[in-house]
Amino acid sequence: MGIYIQILALVIISIILLWFGYTLFLGPLSPFYRGFFLWSKWEKREQQKGEPGDPQVCPVCSIKLYKGELVKSVAFPSISGGIDRLMYIKGCFSCLNDNVQRRCPVCNSNLSTDDFLVSRMFERMGRKNHVHVLGCNRCKRINLPSSSV
Ligand SMILES: [Zn+2]
Ligand SMILES: [Zn+2]
């Protein structure tokens, strides 16, 4: 009788070991699975450079933005009551999170992730807003609203 129980125990142990092996090599927790996932993600995201000032190009790092990607910015209500509004541009997802060189297009100084560009936004009816970069917080210190960004 004892031999049957031993065989049964061996069968159960081998099933558990097989299941372990399966999750270890092919399951989502497996290092192989994770490596493949990261590799495919890295290959997909290839960064293209554009000219600063072009539409769909981040003015801080001049990386072309993907569809749906936005530049982080703060717009203030118009002081003069006109169509232009003051806007601070912080940057895009790439240059705020990745180690991408951030530059001011006016004075060419290197910007940290805390720095921002000062720009004028012209709201145009029925057309895309026009953004004119005046400089960064280093070269355009004068007459800025004191509100925090
Ligand atoms: Zn950027
Ligand atoms: Zn500047």
pLDDT per position as a tens digit, 78-125: 776 777 889 999 999 889 988 889 999 999 999 999 999 999 988 877
Reported confidence tier of residue 17, pLDDT bands at 50, 70, 90: confident
Domain residue ranges in the chain: 2-44, 47-149
Token code pair at residue 21: 């092996």
Of the two residues 141 and 90, the one the predictor is more confident about is: 90
pTM over 0.85, yes/no: no
Confidence of residue 43 (pLDDT cuts 50, 70, 90): very low
Phi/psi zone of residue 82: left (φ > 0), alpha (ψ -120 to 50 degrees), beta? Answer: beta
In the predicted model, is pLDDT for residue 63 greater than 70? yes
Residue with tokens 């005046």: 134
The residue type found at 4 is: Y
Q: What residues sit around ligand 1, an ion, with C-beta below 5 angstroms?
A: 58, 60-61, 91-92, 95
Q: How confident is the model over 66-76, as a mean pLDDT? A: 85
Q: CA torsion sign, 86 to 94 to 58 to 108?
A: positive
Most confident of 30-34, 108-112, 139-143: 108-112
Q: How far is the CA of 145 from the centre of ligand 2 (A)?
A: 17
Which ligand ends up closest to the CA of 59?
1
